Every structure is written in structure tokens, then in C-alpha cells.
Amino acid sequence: MSAPHIIWFRNDLRLADHAAVAAAARSGPVVALFVLDDETPGAWAMGAAQRWWLHHSLAALAQDLAARGGSLLLRRGAAGTVVPDVARCIGAAAVHTLTHYEPWAKAQDAMVAKTLANTAVAFKRYHGALLAPPASVLAGSGGRYRIFTPWWRKLLEQMPPARPAPAPEAMVFAPLPAGDMPAGDTLAGETLAGLGLLPDRDWAAGFDVWTPGEAGAAAQLAVFLDVAADYDKARNLPSQEGSSRLSPHLALGEISIRTVWHAVADAVPAAQAEPYLRELGWRDFAANILDQFPDHADQPGRAQFNAIAFREAPADLRAWQQGRTGYPIVDAGMRQLWATGWMHNRVRMIAASFLVKHLLIDWRQGERWFWDCLVDADLGANSLGWQWVMGSGVDSSPFNRVFAPVTQSAKFDAAAYIRHWVPELSSLRDADIHAPFDAEPMMLRAAGVVLSRTYPQPVIGHAEGRARALVAYAEAKAF
């Protein structure tokens, strides 16, 4: 048998429309490898909720490989060291992988390339995580875009992407060497359970609303196509299932973004498809910003925001995290996040704005909480979203745009959403449920609501919080 080809899986846990899988399968017998690397990302190692998803996604991928006669080799450690080690142990001809743009992915690639540079093992990287490589979307001057709208127009010149390719019809799997290995070389793999990805407590019990894996992603896409024509309106209504709910599948690459693009474009008239395709564009744009600014998750894109005097307010932060702020739309979102690992996008913006403006708490504390709690955590999208709300990003909403939670809740008809996630308010009328603190006492009594006892009073008034935030911003601008 000829020398094996390694497929190094990362956040691309699928077989269909995967250029590295296709290339390796064409080249010879393959070894499928996944490395749990908590070392290279440092403080941005995968969060707890997404680790739950990763466990089930790896199980699904292993099952798909087993159906084809293969297996998935699991290793733990710094991928820049582990991948070359495995390649050396098995006498690999090449390592095949998709290119990713997180800082740690670049560091992994650099280390693998350096280690394999003077060996017979080729290191082959392929496009496939995004609609287009970030550096390919250039202005007429040859520079990179920092603003979404002109970037989107330029990206559209490359769209639509190529049609997705099916999984290889046949794959030949290389047997792993058995017996003693030379000193320092080992193929001893991990078991999936041994990776310790599942939580040691039952907070993930509500995650059963999800079906991780490539088949689960395809099923969710089919569900979304039935409602995709109404996406532009329904996506803003938390009480409706109007969003695609594909973000966790895209985050771990269980379905390719061009598969989603073409499925929507084929199923929905162009004018109705555009709003969703544009949202897919935002995902690419986030990678474009992260590619240019690798510290975007830690440093504001506008230097003046370093001067904002954020509050150290642990009690307020806990109230926000636990969904006990006294603002039902915020609390509903934070409870949905904790229960399911996901939050409606409109509510994400409202909840984020409340933290950084009403509570004047550093956006990075919210970003970290989302990173640990979201099953769809993506460094580019997460940092872009938080900096957009904060106003600190290179392309963002102005700081003085302060979401009014009550107004937003009523405008986007969130009553049913609140009743589901804040059940202690479920008997309130629609007219009262968005702001129980303004309801008539008799209405509260009739609904069994006792403020400060069954449901908290607001941690701060809207006008007071907005005014405090604007003062802090004005003082920062004066520096």
C-alpha cells in the first residue's frame, strides 16, 4: 500500500464539500485525524458549551467514517507538534487541511509547515471554510476593506461560489502501524470520552434541542428552507422560528457555507434570498476583520475606547449572566443562552447593549461569557458583534445608539418569547410583560408577580443607564 495521506480535521467536521477530504481520498489511503488543541489558543480555548457540541460532532464524524470502513484518530496537544508527529509515525506522504483564519489556526499552520519543511511530507492547505479567502476581496487600490457595505459589493463580484461537491464516493483507509514505535514517536490516541468534552454537571440538559453532525446540519438546512422566504421579517421576531439556526453547524464546519448559499439561492427568489445571503456575508466579513486584526477579540478597533471608565460591578454582571436584570427581554435572552447554548440574534444585540451601556461593564466580559456559553462560538463573529454593539469596532454602530430594552421588546413582539423563558411573568398581559415595573399594581397582583420577590426590579433605569454611558463616552473622547 502506498504512503498514507492525513486529513487533518479542525472546525470542518464533514465529508461533503471538503477540499482536503476530496484531495486526500484521490491521492491514496487516508488517515483521518482530529487534534484537541487547548494549548495554542491560550485564553481562547474552546468554551464549555461548544465542547459539548464538539463531542457529539466528533461522534457523528467517527460514525460516518466507520460506515465507509475507516476510523477517526483523536489526539490531544499542541497541533503544531502533534500533526507532524503523527505524519512521521505513519510515514505519511502529505497532510491535507482546510485553511482557517483564527490566530491560533495560523500559528498551528506555521508550526506544521516549519516542522515538515525539510521532510518528504507535503503540507497542503485548501480553501473551504469561507465563501472567499479574506485576502481575495480587495479594493481597487489593492487594499483590504474594513467597512462591510463596500466589502460586500466587492465580494458579490466573486459570487455565487462554486457549487458544493459531494463526499468522495469511495475512500481507502490506511491501517495504523501496530507494535512498538521508536522512542518519542507514538500513535496512542485518545478515546472520545477521554477528551473530557462533556460537562460534569447537568446544565447542558436543554441542549437536546440540537442534533450535531453533518446529517443534523443537512436536516436543519431543510427545515430552514421551508421558511427562508420570510427570513427578512421573521429573523427579528424572537417569538418566531425565523432564523436558520445553522450557526452552530457552520461554526464547526459540519456543513459548508457554499452548500447553504446555493440551497437558499435555489429555493427562494433572489430578492427574498438576499437578506440571508448577506448574513452569510457577515460571517466572512468577520473573518476578514480578524485576519487583519488578530487581536480583535481583545483590543478595541478604535483606540479612544481604551479610555472608557468601565465599572467593576460583579453583582450587576451576575444579574446579567443569570437573567435577573429586571428587563424581561434581556433576561429571556440570557436564560435561553444558558439553557440551550444559543440566543436569538436580535436579543443578542439587546442583551449586549444592556451590558456595555446600561451597566457600563467592559464588553470583553460579555464577550467571554458568550464564548463559554454559545454552541455557535466563532472568534471573528463574536468579537465583531461585541465591538459593533460597543461602537469600538472598525465598522460598528455609534456608541450613542443605546438599545431601549422595553421599546425593542414591544417593537419585535417578544411577549411569547418572554413567557417561555421568564415563566414567572407568563400571566402578564402583552401590554405589561415588556416592562412589569411600569404595570399597574392590580395587574401585577392578578398575574402573581411580586416585584423584588418573584421577579427583580430593574438593576438600573433606562434613562439613568443611557445618561451614565454617554457621560463616560464623552469623558473618554476628551482624552
Domain ranges, ordered by start, for the chain: 5-128, 130-162+213-292, 303-477
Q: Which three cell numbers stand for residue 166?
A: 459531494
Prior bond of 160 cis (ω within 30°): yes
Please list, in sequence order, all residues whose beta carbon lies within 8 angstroms of the beta carbon of residue 130, skipping any fewer than 6 positions away: 101, 257, 283, 284, 287
Q: Which three cell numbers stand for residue 64?
A: 460516518
**188 — pLDDT class (breaks 50, 70, 90):** confident
450/442 Cα distance (integer angstroms): 11
pLDDT in tens, 262-287: 999 999 999 999 999 999 999 999 99
Asked if the 5-128 domain carries CATH number 3.40.50.620, the reply is yes
pLDDT in tens, 67-106: 999 999 999 999 999 999 999 999 999 999 999 999 999 9
440: number of Cβ within 10 Å: 10
222/224 Cα distance (integer angstroms): 5
455/126 Cα distance (integer angstroms): 52
Computed over every residue of the chain, the mean pLDDT equals: 95
Checking phi first, is residue 360 left (phi over 0); if not, alpha (psi -120 to 50) or beta? left
Confidence (pLDDT) at 479 = 67
Please list, in sequence order, all residues whose beta carbon lies within 8 angstroms of the beta carbon of residue 299, skipping any fewer than 6 positions away: 293
DSSP 138-154: B-TTSPBP-SHHHHHHH
pLDDT in tens, 49-68: 999 999 999 999 999 999 99
CATH code of domain 303-477: 1.10.579.10
For residue 184, pLDDT over 70 is answered with no
For residue 167, pLDDT over 70 is answered with yes
- In this structure, which amino acid lies at residue 358? H
Rounded to a whole number, what is the distance in angstroms from the first to the last CA of the chain? 68
Please list, in sequence order, all residues whose beta carbon lies within 8 angstroms of the beta carbon of residue 308, skipping any fewer than 6 positions away: 472, 473, 476
Instruction: Answer whether 5-128 and 303-477 agree in fold.
Output: no
Task: Return the DSSP state at 434.
Answer: T
Q: Which three cell numbers stand for residue 372?
A: 463559554
Q: 178, 166, 185: which is closest to 18 by C-alpha?
A: 166
Q: 350, 428, 439, 339: which is closest to 389 by C-alpha?
A: 350
Q: What's the CATH fold of domain 130-162+213-292? A: 1.25.40
